[in-house]
Structure formats: C-alpha cells, structure tokens
Chains A and B, each alone.
Chain A
Amino acid sequence: MKAPGLLHNNRPLRSAAWAVLPWIVPVLVLLLWHYVSTHGLVSARLFPPPTAVLQTLAELFSSGELWRHISVSFGRAAAGFALGAGLGLILGLLSGLSKTGERLLDTSLQMLRAVPPLALVPLAIMWFGIDETTRVFLIAFATLFPVYLNTYHGIRSLDSGLIEMARNYGLQGWPLIRDVILPGAVPSILVGIRYALSVAWIVLIVAETISASAGVGYLAMTAREFLQTEVVVLSILLYAALGKSTDSAARWLERRWLKWHPSYQREALA
C-alpha cells in the first residue's frame, strides 16, 4: 500500500516509472520469446530467438546487403507515392476549387476508388510485365485516392465565414487560394498523406513478393525458400521500421505546418 504513495510523492521517480511503463510488455514478450525458443519448447527453426535475428541483422548490415534492399524498397515506395499522391493532390485541388472540376472528375474517381488496388495485380502484370513499372503503378493507384479525397474534402469543408471575410477584404483568385483555401485544407491533406503512406507500404509488400530481384520483399521470399526464418522475421521488422519512419516524417511535417493549430501545439512543446 505504501508504494503508490511513495511514487506520488517522488516526482522524478514517478515520471521515470511513467516513461518505462509502455516498454514493460514488449520487453517481457521478447524475454519469453527468447526463453521458449532457446529451451526447445518450440522449434527454433520456426521461432528463431531474438539473438539470431539480431545476428542476421548484423551480418546483412556488414555485407551492405541490408542497405541495398532497403534503398530499393524505399525507392519503389517513394516513386509510387510521389506519382499517386501528387496526382491525387492535383485532382483534389481541381475538384475542390471548381464546380466544373468536381462535376467532371468526382464521379469517375469515386468509381475507380471502389477497385481494390491489389485486385489490379494480374492486370498490371499483363500490362507492364514483371517489372518495376508494375510495382510503382500499384502503389500510385493505391495512394491516389486517400490524397484526392482528403484534399477535396479539406477544401469543401472550409469555414465559409472565412472565405466571405476574405472576399470582403478584396481577396480573390490566387491570393484567396494561397492565403485562405490551401492553408485551411492542409490539416485534411496531411491526414490523407499519412493514410496514403501506410497504404503505400502495404501495397509495396505485396508487390515485392511478385518476383522481385531486390528489396525487402525479395529478401523475405528467398529466405522462405531456404527456411531462413530469422531473415523472414527481420524483413517483417524492417517493413515495420520503414513504415514507422515515414509516418514519423509525416508527423514532423504536421507539427511544422500546423504550428497555428492548438491541438498540435502541445505535441510540439512535448
């Protein structure tokens, strides 16, 4: 009964405990994993101990293989994302800013949006062959819609009072878009970008398992053939790290661009 009281009275200790708290479960899981795989409770071949995974990481790192695969995967994701998100942004701006644009584009895009990107895999292979183009195309297709939708809705859900005020102050055309409409849509556009980033990695993983000659997915697929479970596990962790890092980059952009937004202010201070 004394411990909580002690923690409450001792601020540094309490904040240290608070910082450690989220890591207790992951660390316990790792220890348990290590224990069961090294003591023969499960097959070490199917559940390689964390130390084996670490060792593989060190080997791949020192041979330079790791960077090669990561940069290939990252390049594919970046190219597809740039194409898809860029096009989504442009189409979203057209639909959001002009009634004619909305009338012309929105129905078509909503119909295309209903197509699951991965359903296009066979078609994309027939069109582009087993090639980089296929993978970039699939990622671009998947990332276009989240960015399009959020850009469009961000513009359309702007506070009409602000636009009325800006017009009363003589703003129209490009200055109105630059000073009022775009900044107002940025929070929504960033939500779209974050979502598109996560989708880009998911599609990339599938696309890389379709016969690639490099990349994290290739690493995993060849390792599976040779039953190198520790490499497969490492590949999964690599995907997680890549996804996490781009999400962190997007969050960093959010904090930078949304300094004016009260709900991002606290994060920025923390």
Chain B
Amino acid sequence: MSIGSSLSGLGGLRRLSANLLPPSDAAELAAYPTVETSVQPGLALTLRGVNKSFGSQAVLQSLDLDIEPGQFVAIVGRSGCGKSTLLRALAGLETVDDGILFSGPAPLSTRRRDIRLMFQDARLLPWFTVLDNIGLGLQGNWRTQALAALEEVGLAAHASKWPYQLSGGQRQRVALARALIHQPSLLLLDEPLGALDALTRLEMQALIERVWRTHRFTVVLVTHEVEEAVALGERVLVMEQGRVALDLNVDLERPRVRTAQNFLGLRETVFERILSR
C-alpha cells in the first residue's frame, strides 16, 4: 500500500495531516494520486462451517457467521469459548482445520494487508520510539502520516518517547495509531483494554468508538466485559463451546448511556445467556 493511496482514503487522517504540515508539504500531499478512493471502508466477513481443535479439544465447532461491511461486532463468552481463537483465525495467526473464511468473493487470506490486530498487550517494539513504532513496516515518507495518526489518538506530544516511558493506556493508544496508519478495512481487537484500569478503559472505549465512526472499518472486538460489549457493539455475540449462542442487535443511540433502562436490559440479557450454562 503506497503512502499516497492510503492517505487519500482516510478523510480524518488527511485533514489532520494537512493541518500539521507547512503549506508546501500539504500541497504536495494533496497532489498524490487518489487511486484507491473507491476502496470499501469496511470488510464483509463470511464464515461457513469453521472447525478448529487443539488436540482433542474442539475450540470452534462448525461455526457460521456473517458480518456486514463496517459493522462493529463485540464477542463475549467464558474463557475457552473460542472467541480469541476465532479472532486469531480472522487475523491469519491460526489456521482452521476446515471451513471457509471469505470476504465477499475473495478468501480472507488474500486481504491480509487490510486486516490489523490489536492485542491485550500493546506489543510495541521497546527499541523504537513511539513514532518509529507507528511507522513499523512502512516505507517512504511515512512520518507526517504517523504524526497525524498519533494526533488522532491524542499523543502527538509523545512522538519521540520510548515505549517504557508511557503508561499502559498510552501504549495501547500507540498500538491503535499503529493499526490506523495502515488504513485497515477490518480492525480486530483482542481484549485490548483488559489490562487497563477502569477509568483509562472508559477513555479508550470512547476513543475506539470515535475512531470507528470516523473511518467506518469493520471491527471485531473480543472482550470478557459484557458492559464494554454492549457499550461499543452494534451487534453482540455470545460464544459458547465454539459456536455462536446468542446474536443480539444493539440498537441504541451513541454515545450510549450505561445507566439507561434499555442498556441495562440488554446487558442483563447477555449476562443471563453467559451464565445459563
């Protein structure tokens, strides 16, 4: 993915980078060819009969799942229900035993460049500065873009720091910026807020929501926190023994009020489903 084309697709990022740049650079950036403007903001997902087992332990059992482009799907479930394995299979970090994973007409494995994954730990390279971490794997003049991505997650002032100088929440923000600069069509979040304190987690949830509403990529969030799933997801899936046990649409206005009656009702429904076993 060239810098020019990836920049052109990101409205918000481009606007920010234009603000950050001296006029001449901004003009130069605007002159980049806009080849991929027709690129879909979100990846559609189609899973059919997906099986995966570790030894004799079946983790995913003939799983079927359809996700629309740009949808925010939150997956909850007990430990070992297969939610993390599903996410890693989507990211291409696990191979499935059988079944198909497609995006539209193409196998998901052909769309690796459009898929980015955030882990529970930020996994920043300790020997790279914050800015260099964001530019990981990029070529050419990516620095302006990286600064814009950093700006978007509110950490522009920390560009030249080392990862160890950041707090856990800041590290996850950098990891998010690192994913955003690649302009993903599918963002996979593997309990990215699990290790954060309650207040930081709320801030990060708001940030993820804002970023998703700006870029409209497809998001699959795996979490163990029901409230987080209902607060963020347009759709909440409860997984049980490698299958989808509950598929719930969350039709609430954003930003969601966590004390509202309908919010609490949905949260209760999901809770009951998880606890019913």
Contact = CB atoms under 8 A, between A and B. Distances in A.
Interface of B: 91-93, 112-113, 116-117, 119, 121, 123, 125-129, 136-137, 162-164, 178, 182
10 cross-chain pairs, A with B, having the tightest CB-CB distances, nearest first? A183-B127, A165-B123, A169-B137, A260-B127, A262-B164, A260-B162, A170-B137, A171-B137, A260-B126, A168-B117
Interface string A154-167: 00000001101110
A162 B125 contact: yes
Residue in B121, B126, B127, B164 with the greatest tally of chain A CB atoms within 10 Å: B127
B100 to A, nearest CB: 21
Given A166-B125, A168-B91, A169-B178, 12 more contacts: A162-B125, A165-B119, A165-B123, A168-B93, A168-B116, A168-B117, A169-B116, A170-B137, A179-B128, A180-B125, A183-B127, A260-B163
A73 to B, nearest CB: 35
Given A161-B121, A179-B125, A180-B125, A169 B136 contact: yes
15 contacts: A161-B119, A162-B125, A165-B117, A166-B125, A168-B116, A169-B136, A169-B178, A170-B113, A171-B136, A183-B128, A184-B127, A259-B162, A260-B127, A260-B162, A261-B126
Interface string A171-199: 10001000110011010000000000000
B38 to A, nearest CB: 23
A186 B128 CA distance: 13
A166 B127 contact: no
A260 B128 contact: yes
Contacts of A184: 125, 127
B10 to A, nearest CB: 17
A51 B112 CA distance: 74
A169 B134 CA distance: 10
Contact of B137 (A164, A166, A260, A261): A166
Contacts of B127: 183-184, 186, 260-261
A242 to B, nearest CB: 31
A79 B125 CA distance: 35
Nearest to B164: A262
Contacts of A261: 126-127, 164
Contacts of B112: 170
Looking at chain A, what size class is its interface with the partner chain? 20 to 34
Nearest to B122: A165
Contacts of A259: 162
Nearest to B113: A170
Contacts of B178: 169
Contacts of B93: 164, 168
A268 to B, nearest CB: 12
A165 B118 CA distance: 9
A171 B136 CA distance: 8
A170 B256 CA distance: 36
Contacts of A169: 116, 136-137, 178, 182
A90 to B, nearest CB: 22
Nearest to B115: A168
Contacts of B137: 166, 169-171, 175, 179
Contacts of B125: 162, 166, 179-180, 183-184
Nearest to B182: A169
Most B-side CB within 10 Å, residue of A162, A165, A166, A265: A165
A261 B125 CA distance: 11
A175 B138 CA distance: 10
B136 A179 contact: yes
A186 B126 CA distance: 12
Contacts of A170: 112-113, 137
Contacts of A171: 136-137
Nearest to A257: B127
A262 B163 CA distance: 10
Nearest to A165: B123
B123 A162 contact: yes
Contacts of A183: 125, 127-128
Contacts of B123: 161-162, 164-165
A265 B127 CA distance: 13
Contacts of A161: 119, 121, 123
B195 to A, nearest CB: 13
A169 B117 CA distance: 9
B129 to A, nearest CB: 8
A221 to B, nearest CB: 46
A262 B117 CA distance: 27
Contacts of B182: 169
Contacts of B113: 170
Given A166-B136, A171-B136, A179-B136, A260 B164 contact: yes
